[in-house]
Amino acid sequence: MDPIDALREIAFRLERELAPNFKVKAFRHAAEAIAGIPADDLAARVRDGGLKRTPGIGARTFEVIQQAIDGQVPGYLQSLRDRGEEPLAEGGRALHALLRGDLHSHTSSSDGGAPLEEMAQAARLLGRDYLAVTDHSPNLTVANGLSAERLAEQVDLVDAYNGSRPADERFRLLAGIEVDILEDGTLDQEAELLSQLDVVVASVHSKLRSEERAMTRRMLRAIEDPHTDVLGHCTGRLVTGSRGTRPESTFDAARVFAACAENQVAVEVNSRPERQDPPDGLIQLALDAGCLFSIDSDAHAPGQLDFLQYGAARAEANGIPAERIVTTWPRERLLEWSGRRR
C-alpha cells in the first residue's frame, strides 16, 4: 500500500483511541518527511537503509514504510485495524447511522493537530455529508485563536476546498468558528465576519467558576445574539483525561435552555469522552424545554471525528429524538436553520 496512506491511517486510528500526542505526531511527521520523495527514490532509500537517517523517521515508522513498499499491510496498522473493529461506544448505533455531519472541529490553524484538508479527508472517509471547521477566536490565545484576518483567510480556504471538489460530490466543508463568549456575554469576533459564516458555535472558556447569576447573564446574552447557532459544551466540565477533572459551571439551566428553545439555538452534546457535556440531568432539562441539539465531535485531530459514536450513545440513552438533532438534517435544511437570524 502507499506508505504515506499507511502512516496517516495509523495516526488516524491512534487519535481515535486517544493515544498520546507524541505517538500520533511521530506518524504524521513521518508522512510529511517522505511526502516529496519520488516512489523509486523512496524504495531505494529503504533498501539501502538511508531513509533511517532522514529527520522525522524512527525505527517504527521506517518499519511501516518498508512493509508498505514491499506490498504488505504494515503489521502495526493491521493490529490497529483489528482493534478498530469494535465500536467506540456501547449503544447509539441506530442514531449514529443517522448523523450526516459535525458542527464542531478544529484544525492546525488554532489548536488542532492537522490541516483543513486532512480533517476534510477523514470526514469524507467516515461518510459525513458536511463538516464545520470551527477554530477558536482571538481571545483564546492559549489555543492560537484566529484574528479576523486569519478567519477571513480560512473562509477563503474552505471556499477553495469546496470549489476543488467534483460538483456531484456529496461532502462539503462549512465555514465556522467556535467563538468565545466573553465575560459580558458578547461574542469574540467581528459581527460582520460572523454574518458570513455557515455555523457559529458559542462557548465559555474562561472564568468557568463565576457566580451563577453572572454566568447566566453571560450565556443568555450570547444565546440571544443573532449569530449564535450552537451553545458549545455548556458546563465546561472535565470528567477524565490528561487535563484532570473540572467541575461544572453553575448557571440557571431553566432560563438558559428556555432561551435556547426560543432562539432555536442548539444545545451541543459534546462527544469528547473527557467532557460528556452536558450531564444527563441537563440534557433532560433541555429536552423538556423544547431545545434542538447538535451532536458534535469537538475533534482536534482527524481520528477524533469518530467520537460522534460517544455522543450518539449518550443522546440515544437520554431519549433525544433524531428529528431534534440538527446534525441529522440534510445540509440544505441545516444551512437554512443556521442562517435564520442573519
Is 199's pLDDT higher than 90? yes
Task: Look at residue 253 in the predicted model and tell me its pLDDT.
Answer: 98
CB 17 within 8 A of CB 85: no
Instruction: Provide, rounded to the nearest whole percent, the portion of the chain with pLDDT above 90.
Output: 96
- Mean pLDDT on 166-186: 96
Is 85's pLDDT higher than 90? no
pLDDT band at residue 14 under the 50/70/90 scheme = very high
Tell me how far apart the alpha carbons of residues 123 and 79 are, in angstroms, rounded to a whole number. 22
Query: What class is the 93-338 domain?
Result: alpha beta
Is 329's pLDDT higher than 90? yes
Domains 3-83 and 93-338 share a fold: no
What is the tens place of the pLDDT at every residue in 267-284? 999 999 999 999 999 999
- CATH 1.10.150, applies to 3-83: yes
Task: Look at residue 284 in the predicted model and tell me its pLDDT.
Answer: 98
pLDDT band at residue 243 under the 50/70/90 scheme = confident
Write down the mean pLDDT value for the chain: 96
- Mean pLDDT on 98-112: 97
**pTM here?**
0.94
Tell me how far apart the alpha carbons of residues 321 and 295 are, in angstroms, rounded to a whole number. 12
Is 167's pLDDT higher than 90? no
- Mean pLDDT on 317-336: 98
Tell me how far apart the alpha carbons of residues 265 and 200 are, in angstroms, rounded to a whole number. 10
Please report, as a single letter, which amino acid is at residue 76.
Y
Is 84's pLDDT higher than 90? no
Judged by average pLDDT, the poorest of 56-60, 81-85, 288-292 is: 81-85
What is the tens place of the pLDDT at every residue in 43-82? 999 999 999 999 999 999 999 999 999 999 999 999 999 9
Q: Which residue matches cell numbers 484538508?
A: 117
Sign of torsion, CA 317 322 325 327? positive
The b-or-e profile of 91-128 (16+ CB within 10 A means b, else e) is ebeebbeebbbbbbbbbbbbebbbebebbbbbbbebeb
- Mean pLDDT on 190-210: 97
Task: Look at residue 252 in the predicted model and tell me its pLDDT.
Answer: 98
Task: Look at residue 88 in the predicted model and tell me its pLDDT.
Answer: 94
Q: Where are the domains of the chain?
A: 3-83, 93-338
Task: Look at residue 37 in the predicted model and tell me its pLDDT.
Answer: 96
pLDDT band at residue 241 under the 50/70/90 scheme = confident
Q: Look up residue 102 and give its three cell numbers.
A: 459535525
- Mean pLDDT on 153-177: 96
Q: Look up residue 94 and give its three cell numbers.
A: 441506530
- What is the three-state SS of the chain? CCHHHHHHHHHHHHHHCCCCHHHHHHHHHHHHHHCCCCHHHHHHHHHCCHHHHCCCCCHHHHHHHHHHHCCCCCHHHHHHHHHCCCCCCCCCHHHHHHCCEECCECCCCCCCCCCHHHHHHHHHHCCCCEEEECCECCCCHHHCCCCHHHHHHHHHHHHHHHHHCCCCCCCEEEEEEEEEECCCCCECCCHHHHCCCCEEEEECCCCCCCCHHHHHHHHHHHHHCCCCCEECCCCCCECCCCCCCECCCCCCHHHHHHHHHHHCCEEEEECCCCCCECCHHHHHHHHHHCCCEEEECCECCHHHHHHHHHHHHHHHHCCCCHHHEHHHCCHHHHHHHHCCCC
